[in-house]
Amino acid sequence: MSRKRTAVLISGRGSNMRSLVAAARVLEFPAEIALVVSNVADAAGLVFARAEGIATKAVDHRAFASREDFDRAVQGVLEAHGIELVCLAGFMRLLSPWFVEQWRGRMLNIHPALLPSYRGLHTHERALADGVKIHGATVHFVVPEVDAGPIVAQAAVAVRGDDTAETLGARVLEQEHVIYPRALALVASGAARVVDGRVFLADEPTPGAALASPGV
Ligand code: GRF
């Protein structure tokens, strides 16, 4: 089995990137993390990736006149490393339609909410303000519209009355680290197929226990 050469794009601490690197250490994992790219030169995640012996590249967006110029520079780096799949993991730049088109069906993002609810920023604050009892995280294919695109995996988290954005966000992040490697494996192995904007799995798993919040 050839493992899909995967790049992770980050802007900060890179905890999701670390979860992907950890999963891909297992030789049977269908993707290898071949490159970590950041638009922020001193992103903490780059230090970790370097220490792991992974190729890294910082591409400072401020050095480019337009969004597309930046995206073309990133594209050049991805091509130079023979990248086949891209995972956005806390990458805080909007990508141009041109770049998204280059990676259609081959680029994933993780979002800290149960899409299509709470697109955009401050998802935990907004979920708390709305009083929802279940919140979570989503891994989806990237399309030109932000925080949209076929959903590969989701994890739900019960919201507690005494939650703050920090406590809720921490429980969601724990689940992000579970579902991102799972989603990447499904896509890299070819088990996930997109039909009419929905993702279907070659082998649909039996659903786990339902989550009720408040539980009994
Ligand atoms: C995560 O919450 C992710 O869902 C969002 O940005 C955050 C990145 O965290 N897109 P990290 O850099 O992976 O730790």
Instruction: Give the class (CATH, top level) of 1-103.
Output: alpha beta
Contact 89 CB / ligand 1 (< 6 Å):
yes
Q: What number is the average pLDDT over the span 2-17? A: 97
**Residue 76: predicted pLDDT:** 98
pLDDT, tens digit, 9 for 90 and up, residues 20-47: 999 999 999 999 999 999 999 999 999 9
Cα(88) to ligand 1 centroid in Å equals 9
**Domain parsing of the chain, residue ranges:** 1-103, 109-205
- SS3 state at 113: coil
Average pLDDT value for residue range 103-123: 98
Which one, of 148, 204, 192, 179, lies nearest residue 4 by Cα?
Answer: 192
Taking the C-alpha atoms of residue 115 and residue 138, their distance in angstroms, rounded to an integer, is 6
For ligand 1, the distance from its centroid to the CA atom of residue 67, given in whole angstroms, is 21
Centre of ligand 1 to C-alpha 89, Å, is 6
Q: What pTM does this model have?
A: 0.97
Biggest distance spanned by C-alpha atoms of the chain: 56
Active site residues: 111
Protein residue whose Cα sits closest to atom 1 of ligand 1:
90
For 113, counting Cβ atoms within 10 Å of its Cβ (0-12 exposed, 13-18 middle, 19+ buried), the class is buried
- 109-205 has which CATH code? 3.40.50.170
Q: Which amino acid is at 75?
A: Q
The residue whose CA is least distant from atom 10 of ligand 1 is: 90
Tens digits of per-residue pLDDT, 172-203?
Answer: 999 999 999 999 999 999 999 999 999 999 99
